[in-house]
A and B are shown apart, each in its own frame.
Chain A
Amino acid sequence: MTLHLINKSPAKSSALNECLSVLEASNNSSSAILLIEDAVYSALKHPANMALHEKIKKLASPCYLLKEDLLMRGLHAELVEGFTIVDYAGFVQLSLDFKKVQSWS
């Protein structure tokens, strides 16, 4: 139904955590999350991200990462499993696959 777009690092913003809580509470499996810009740090294999990854694992919604932003930050080799990587063409297609795109700040 909705593609949730997040662009902030989990260290600086609680956007992803709040978005996950909303999806969890609404029991919504027809939505997805796309992490772009500094939000790709959320997929880093790091103890600070463990709670987020647990929440994502429990969720039925798929979680995507923007390839260009991962490569720019050199993170592609240090990711936890469970994320799907898309490029800008995939980003555009995801926006069409879902009815709405909701940006979080």
Chain B
Amino acid sequence: MQSFTLVVFGAPDSQSSSTALNYAKAVLKAGHHIYRLFFYQDGVFNACSFNTPSQDEENSSVNWQTLIQEHELDAVVCVASALKRGIVNAAEAERYELAASNLRQGFEISGLGQLIDGVIQSDRVVNFLP
């Protein structure tokens, strides 16, 4: 069994986000371990709980959340990328006195250090560029 860290750069409506999701599923199907999912740059939009695409479209945020919760994956959202795009958890919302928080359940906000840790701890790191 090998361990993987996947870095997701693409927004929910990009193909790179669904490529990463399909890849994550294939990693787990092959019996390997996902050490961490790291959502970076526009990839943080996947962690927004306000995403409401049309009914005939895939909801990439929900698809990620389902995979994360089913397999209890560690899903980290880059704090700097998230804040500048308006993705906040309750603690950040309070700190910046924002009207609401919108981080989707299953995701966790943290820093780039978590990406470095993923690079060190995993056998493979795969970047899914936008």
Contact = CB atoms under 8 A, between A and B. Distances in A.
A88 B129 contact: no
B15 interface: yes
Interface residues of A, number: 19
A105 interface: yes
16 contacts: A7-B16, A7-B19, A7-B128, A7-B129, A37-B16, A37-B19, A69-B19, A88-B22, A92-B23, A92-B30, A92-B32, A93-B30, A95-B124, A103-B126, A103-B128, A103-B129
A93 B124 CA distance: 11
A89 B16 CA distance: 17
Contacts of A5: 126-127
| Closest A-B pairs by Cβ, 4 of them | A88-B26, A103-B127, A105-B129, A92-B26
B126 A89 contact: no
Contacts, number: 47
Contacts of A105: 129-130
Select the residue from B123, B126, B127 with max chain A CB neighbours within 10 A.
B126
A5 B16 CA distance: 12
Select the residue from A36, A68, A69 with max chain B CB neighbours within 10 A.
A36
Interface residues of B, number: 21
Nearest to A105: B129
A65 B27 CA distance: 18
B27 to A, nearest CB: 5
Contacts of A101: 124-127
Given A96-B2, A105-B129, A37 B32 contact: no
A91 interface: yes
A2 B123 CA distance: 14
B39 to A, nearest CB: 16
A89 B30 CA distance: 7
B22 A68 contact: yes
Contacts of A37: 15-16, 19
B95 interface: no
B5 to A, nearest CB: 11
A91 B32 CA distance: 13
Contacts of B2: 96
A36 B16 CA distance: 9
